[in-house]
């Protein structure tokens, strides 16, 4: 009996020692595991194709960084500036934000954004995109694509109507009139979307302003150096925009960007003056569709009509991020060959990475590359936009302008009203 008791005691003691040893090893293992880190990334991408591409890129990053969680937050593109100001006021800045540095100069000057000029992931970014991310000598954004604005068109509808791609201003409006005569509204107007209204103007305005020596027209207005109503080129550009608006129908004031995308995909109208960001969703909705692109003409000299190129999907880093290494590694992963190709294939947008080939890309990207190769492009950085509330004020006025009937729209009156609005903000 004593032997049995002793044996039980020995077994119990051995079990206790084993358990203690296992616990210590488990504790050691846990202490050696990297701490879970959460990065907050805020964007205002409205297109599903781009959101899908971003999700795939994050998956690539997390393969090598399983301890990092990327928390995605989406804000409304029409009110993102207010959202960013609220983050700052609450002391709740995300690690990474979305935006265009030259439109966010007040944030840059206040020191809220990190200068990325010397980051290794900026090495292979197209130089014209770096230019648009530059404010006061610093580079405050990492763009992942080379965005374009122009006229996206349905090739079949053009062929059926017997029209050719126009290369001059007069030829463009002749195409519009040909469709109108056939009972087809020529243009998709997303006039319920404040930025969609501006894109319709900016698609040709940037090329016109750069070519006529008016690159600082928005900045001169914002600073009070000059009024828009005194600028001849501004009058000419707004008269052309006014003519574009004349092709609307009453229902266009209720059309937002997603509806415009569906309308183009469905072949309801032949042309959509907007940015390349919409084409991923268009092609997803119409995989057998055949779409093209051409610069929106402002001149009757074909050589002067150039394709708008600038940034759209651009990541900005908070200067106060508590996870600078993880943020760096995430953006470096986004800049990699693998992620750049994911963006190209999924978002259907030309990568900002100069080392990514477009050889096997879709026809639309091939067309964009053709404009790059022939230097028929104009950099948005040459004509910086209004910033912050000045931008919102102008776009709000422009959106109101398009709601008016043809007999009520007057360019002189519009520009004088904008001048008053800009002056009131400046005071």
Question: Residue-wise pLDDT tens for the chain (427 aa)?
Answer: 444 444 444 444 444 544 455 445 444 544 566 689 999 999 999 889 999 999 999 999 999 999 999 999 999 988 898 999 999 999 999 999 999 998 899 999 999 999 999 999 999 999 999 999 999 999 999 999 999 999 999 999 999 999 999 999 999 999 999 999 999 999 999 999 999 999 999 999 999 999 999 999 999 999 999 999 999 999 999 999 999 999 999 999 999 999 999 999 999 999 999 999 999 899 999 999 999 999 999 999 999 999 999 998 999 999 999 999 999 999 999 999 999 999 999 998 889 999 998 888 888 888 998 999 999 999 999 999 999 899 999 999 999 999 999 999 999 999 999 999 999 999 8
Cβ atoms of residues 226 and 173 within 8 Å:
no
Cα angle at 98 between 97 and 102, to 5 degrees?
110
CB neighbours of residue 247 within 10 Å: 18
Q: For CA atoms 264, 290, 287, 274, give the dihedral sign.
A: negative
Q: Residue 88 half-sphere exposure, CB side, CA atoms within 13 Å? A: 16
Tokens of 154: 């349905």
Q: Residues of CATH 3.40.190.10 domain(s) within the chain?
A: 37-145+311-354, 147-310+383-426
Please tell me the predicted confidence (pLDDT) of residue 401.
Answer: 98
Rounded Cα gap, residues 84 and 78, in angstroms: 12
Between strands 147-154 and 307-310, the pairing is antiparallel
Domain 37-145+311-354 falls under CATH 3.40.190.10: yes
Question: Considering only CA atoms, which of 342, 344, 427 is closest in space to residue 393?
Answer: 427
- 147-310+383-426: which CATH topology? D-Maltodextrin-Binding Protein; domain 2 (3.40.190)
Please tell me the predicted confidence (pLDDT) of residue 17.
Answer: 42
Question: Which pTM was predicted?
Answer: 0.84
Cβ atoms of residues 146 and 350 within 8 Å:
yes
User: Which residues, 6+ apart, have CB-to-CB distance to 268 below 8 Å?
Assistant: 188
């Amino acid at each position: 009996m004593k032997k049995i008791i002793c044996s039980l005691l020995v077994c119990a003691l051995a079990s206790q020692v084993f358990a203690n040893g296992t616990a210590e090893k488990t504790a050691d293992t846990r202490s050696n595991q990297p701490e879970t880190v959460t990065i907050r990334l805020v964007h205002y991408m409205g297109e599903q194709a781009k959101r899908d591409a971003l999700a795939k890129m994050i998956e690539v990053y997390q393969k090598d960084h399983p301890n990092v969680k990327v928390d995605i937050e989406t804000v409304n593109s029409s009110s993102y500036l207010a959202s960013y100001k609220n983050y700052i006021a609450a002391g709740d800045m995300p690690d990474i934000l979305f935006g265009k540095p030259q439109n966010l100069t007040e944030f840059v000057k206040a020191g809220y954004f990190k200068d990325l000029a010397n980051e290794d992931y900026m090495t292979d970014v197209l130089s014209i995109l770096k230019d648009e991310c530059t404010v006061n000598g610093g580079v405050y954004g990492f763009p992942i694509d080379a965005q374009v604005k122009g006229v996206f068109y349905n090739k079949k509808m053009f062929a059926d109507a017997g029209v050719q791609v126009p290369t001059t201003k007069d030829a463009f409006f002749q195409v519009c009139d040909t469709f109108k005569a056939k009972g087809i509204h020529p243009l998709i107007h997303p006039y319920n979307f404040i930025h969609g209204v501006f894109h319709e103007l900016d698609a040709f305005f940037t090329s016109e302003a750069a070519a006529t020596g008016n690159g600082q027209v928005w900045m001169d207005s914002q600073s009070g150096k000059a009024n828009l109503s005194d600028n001849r080129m501004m009058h000419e550009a707004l008269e052309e925009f006014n003519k574009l608006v004349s092709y609307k129908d009453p229902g266009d004031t209720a059309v937002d960007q997603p509806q415009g995308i569906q309308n183009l995909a469905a072949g309801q109208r032949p042309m959509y003056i907007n940015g390349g960001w919409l084409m991923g969703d268009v092609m997803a909705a119409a995989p057998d569709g055949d779409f093209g692109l051409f610069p929106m003409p402002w001149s009757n000299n074909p050589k002067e009509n150039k394709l708008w190129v600038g940034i759209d999907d651009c990541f900005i880093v908070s200067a106060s991020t508590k996870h600078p290494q993880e943020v760096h590694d995430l953006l470096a992963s986004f800049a990699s060959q693998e992620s750049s190709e994911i963006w190209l294939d999924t978002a259907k947008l030309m990568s900002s990475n100069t080392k990514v080939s477009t050889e096997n890309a879709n026809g639309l990207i091939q067309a964009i590359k053709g404009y790059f190769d022939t230097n028929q492009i104009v950099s948005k950085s040459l004509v910086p936009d209004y910033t912050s509330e000045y931008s919102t004020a102008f776009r709000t006025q422009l959106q109101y302008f398009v709601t008016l009937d043809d007999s009520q729209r007057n360019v002189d009156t519009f520009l004088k009203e904008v001048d008053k609005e800009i002056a009131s903000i400046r005071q």
